[in-house]
Amino acid sequence: METHQIEHIEDLSGLVSLFLKKHSKPNVFRVIGEMGAGKTTFIHAICDALGVTFLGSPTFSLVHEYETNKGFDIIHFDLYRLKSIEEAYEFGFEEYLDRNAYVFIEWADMVEPLLPPNISTIVIVDDGKYRHISF
């Protein structure tokens, strides 16, 4: 994992370009960070770079799907409000993982047993001045 440091939100575009060069094919990503660290912001910057025009936060719906013009989708989970692993089974969590898509999962602890063995990890730490983003 490499760690990169940014000070301003405007610095994300260059970092996202680097991320997409390193991860040029869709994969499943666990996104780790404290509340407010910038997890959703980073995922939205990736969506922007891949041509997604409408962005929302999945905070209340657990999952959002975005179409790209690249032949794959982006699936963004925010599982902060997930009550149990059974709830993940009920809405078909596992089926999303089998799609040809970039899948980003925030607060993945509850569904850890369902995650694929080849999952990649993104860690975002906000120290008050900089955001340290590792992938």
The residues spanned by each domain of the chain are 3-134
Dist CA 6 CA 15 (whole Å): 8
Residue 61: per-residue pLDDT:
80
pTM over 0.85: yes
% of the chain with per-residue pLDDT over 90: 85
Instruction: Give residue-wise pLDDT tens across range 61-116.
Output: 899 999 888 889 999 999 999 999 999 999 999 999 999 999 999 999 999 999 99
Cα–Cα distances in Å, from 55 out to 14, 64, 65, 116, 131?
A: 20, 9, 9, 26, 22
Residue 42: per-residue pLDDT:
96
Dist CA 13 CA 45 (whole Å): 7
- Res. 56: pLDDT tops 80: no
The Cβ of residue 7 has, within 10 Å, a number of other Cβ atoms equal to 9
Residue 71: per-residue pLDDT:
87
Phi, psi (rounded to 5 degrees) for 132: -105, 115
Return the half-sphere exposure (C-beta side, CA atoms, 13 A cut-off) of residue 64: 17
Structural domain 3-134, CATH architecture: 3-Layer(aba) Sandwich (3.40)
